[in-house]
Amino acid sequence: MNVTLSMTIDQHEVLRHHLFPGDGLEAAALLLCGGSGHGDRYRLSVRDVVLLDHDKCKRLDDRISWPTDLIIPHLDHAEELGLSVVKVHCHPGNFPQFSEVDDVGDRELLPVVRSWVGADIPHGSIVMQPCGRLFGRYLWQADEMRSMDMISVAGPDIRLFPAKAHNRNSPFARSQDQAFGDGTTATLARLRAGIVGISGTGSPLLEQLIRLGFGEIVIIDPDTVEERNLNRILNSSVADARADRLKVDVAEAAAIATELPTKIIKVPSTLMSPAAIHSLSVCDVIFGCVDTHTGRFAMNLVSTYHIIPYFDVGVMLDAVGEGDAAGRIRDIFGTVHYIVPGRSSLISRDVISLRTVAQEGLAEADPQAEEQQVRDKYFRGLNVSRPAVISINMFAAALAVNDFLARVHSYRQMPNSDVGSIEFSLGQLRLTADEEQEDCALLRPWLGHGRISPLVGLPELSEARS
The H or E element that residue 74 is part of is helix 72-81
Confidence at 362, pLDDT banded by 50, 70, 90: low
Give Rg (Cα) of the chain.
23
DSSP structure class, residue 229: G
Fold of 171-461: Rossmann fold (3.40.50)
For 111-152, the pLDDT digits (tens) are: 999 999 999 999 999 999 999 999 999 999 889 999 999 999
Mean pLDDT, rounded, for 238-249: 97
Number of H-type helices and E-type strands within the chain: 13, 19
Confidence at 30, pLDDT banded by 50, 70, 90: very high
pLDDT at 326: 59
pLDDT at 316: 84
Residues 6+ apart with CB under 8 A from 433: 414, 418, 419, 420, 421, 422
Mean pLDDT, rounded, for 334-347: 97
Mean pLDDT, rounded, for 361-380: 59
pLDDT at 325: 57
For the entire predicted model, the pTM comes to 0.92
Confidence at 379, pLDDT banded by 50, 70, 90: very low
For 155-183, the pLDDT digits (tens) are: 999 999 999 755 555 566 666 665 565 67
Distances (CA, A) of 405 to 204, 273, 327, 400: 16, 30, 36, 9
Mean pLDDT, rounded, for 189-208: 96
For 258-313, the pLDDT digits (tens) are: 999 999 999 999 999 999 999 999 999 999 999 899 999 999 999 999 999 999 99
Interatomic CA distance for residues 413 and 371, integer angstroms = 50
The SS3 call for residue 225 is coil
2-154 is a CATH 1.10.10.10 domain: no
3-state secondary structure 262-278: CEEEEECCCCCCHHHHH
Interatomic CA distance for residues 337 and 301, integer angstroms = 15
What does the DSSP assignment read for 99-159? -HHHHHHHHHHHHHHHHHH-SS--EEEEEE-TTS-EEEEEE-SSSS-EE-SEEEEESSSEE
For the chain, domain boundaries: 2-154, 171-461
Confidence at 411, pLDDT banded by 50, 70, 90: confident
**Torsional class of 243: left (φ above 0), alpha (ψ -120 to 50), beta (otherwise):** alpha
Mean of pLDDT over the chain: 90
pLDDT at 410: 82
